[in-house]
A and B are shown apart, each in its own frame.
Chain A
């Protein structure tokens, strides 16, 4: 796994409105960044811009020494994305969403493997979406409110998943309202 992932003077427009500007940070391999700020501050927009889904008005994203957004499919292979929606298909069962049984077990879904996703609760769907991230085997995780709908036990599981990912040199960038136990994470206030 390589890195670091560096942002220089990012700015993003949504329609005619400037959402944020002059955002700079650097996440080293194994590092973590927490995005904080009130509703509408631009946390989701920043995450979408980091993924290459939303266009940057100005600024630069660097992956190591190269321009991260130069080739979007290449950048997409570096990241795992968790949006505010879970992207869970009701017609498929849990094991068809995430094949990797270790990732399912890490989020406490091992026994739900053959269950149709339609029958999952909101928190379980969120865990399934997180299991997909855990199974992705990509260095950079971009997570929009990963703890939404999770109970305390699940948050503990998630913390362990983050720690294992970072121990392998992976990076986590997450927006959150609830306290999230990410040791030595930098905090970016929007």
Chain B
């Protein structure tokens, strides 16, 4: 399992343009808002958490198509399923690799972006705290959607259509936690959703991978 993760990370490092594309998309999309809405700090600071959250969600979707797509096309998926890991284990490693190469960098870049959007400095750590389960949930649900749409025509279009509705509860509680005066309840809700998705999403993804490989 560790060997597969190391290999995935090495591949991501060698093909770092793919990884960088998602991060640049995040930066550029979030930068467009001040241009469209004007530089008024009051307006920006109110909507900043929402902008960061939505842009991070959309950016994290970008690498999902290649998450299994490349392995499916070149025959590596068969080898992964025959590597001695369970199909759910393969999906879990892929989820981890996606989070480490996309979710974590997004989380780090979100800090300077939120400052740029005039968020009060004392709110930034809380926003990052909500994005931690947020990006993890997106990696989990995104891996599931990527394996379900594997081999389908237009999978790149289908995948956001499956992932984004599933992410709505996360988005609601994530943004609520980032802006509420008492964020504990919303944070606990996020944690509860993470605890649900952590075992279930890789299992579902594994079943979908087996079906795709048939």
Q: Which of chain B's residues have a CB closer than 8 A to the CB of A76? A: 81-84
Q: How many residues of chain B have a CB within 8 Å of chain A?
A: 20
Interface string of A19-56 (1 = CB under 8 A from B): 00000000000000000000000000000100111110
Q: Which of chain B's residues have a CB closer than 8 A to the CB of A177? A: none
In B6-62, the 8 Å CB interface with A consists of 7, 10-11, 14-15
Do B74 and A85 touch across chains, with their CB atoms under 8 A apart?
yes
**Measured between C-beta atoms, what is the minimum distance from B140 to chain A in Å?**
22
Q: How many residues of chain A have a CB within 8 Å of chain B?
A: 22
User: B168 interface residue, CB < 8 Å from A?
Assistant: no
Do B11 and A87 touch across chains, with their CB atoms under 8 A apart?
no
Q: Which of chain B's residues have a CB closer than 8 A to the CB of A85? A: 73-75
User: A96 interface residue, CB < 8 Å from B?
Assistant: yes
Interface of B is mostly: helix
In the complex, what residue of chain B is closest to A14 when comparing beta carbons? B214
Do A83 and B85 touch across chains, with their CB atoms under 8 A apart?
no
Q: Which of chain B's residues have a CB closer than 8 A to the CB of A86? A: 74-75
User: B152 interface residue, CB < 8 Å from A?
Assistant: no
Q: Which of chain B's residues have a CB closer than 8 A to the CB of A83? A: 75, 78-79
How far apart sit A161 and B87, CA to CA, in the bound complex (Å)? 30
**Measured between C-beta atoms, what is the minimum distance from B16 to chain A in Å?**
10
User: A72 interface residue, CB < 8 Å from B?
Assistant: yes
In A85-121, the 8 Å CB interface with B consists of 85-89, 91-92, 96
Do A53 and B11 touch across chains, with their CB atoms under 8 A apart?
no
Q: Which of chain A's residues have a CB closer than 8 A to the CB of B86? A: 72-73
From A51, A79, A88, give the contact of B74 (CB < 8 A): A88
Residue from the set B74, B75, B81 with the largest chain A CB neighbour count within 10 Å: B75
Interface of A is mostly: loop
Do A91 and B82 touch across chains, with their CB atoms under 8 A apart?
no
In the complex, what residue of chain B is closest to A12 when comparing beta carbons? B214
User: A84 interface residue, CB < 8 Å from B?
Assistant: yes
From A53, A89, A91, give the contact of B214 (CB < 8 A): A53
In the complex, what residue of chain B is closest to A77 when comparing beta carbons? B84
Do B76 and A79 touch across chains, with their CB atoms under 8 A apart?
no
Do B76 and A87 touch across chains, with their CB atoms under 8 A apart?
yes
User: A162 interface residue, CB < 8 Å from B?
Assistant: no
How far apart sit A68 and B79, CA to CA, in the bound complex (Å)? 18
How far apart sit A91 and B18, CA to CA, in the bound complex (Å)? 13
Q: Which of chain B's residues have a CB closer than 8 A to the CB of A91? A: 11, 14-15
User: B196 interface residue, CB < 8 Å from A?
Assistant: no
How far apart sit A96 and B13, CA to CA, in the bound complex (Å)? 14
User: A5 interface residue, CB < 8 Å from B?
Assistant: no
Q: Which of chain A's residues have a CB closer than 8 A to the CB of B87? A: 72
Q: Which of chain A's residues have a CB closer than 8 A to the CB of B73? A: 85
How far apart sit A76 and B213, CA to CA, in the bound complex (Å)? 14
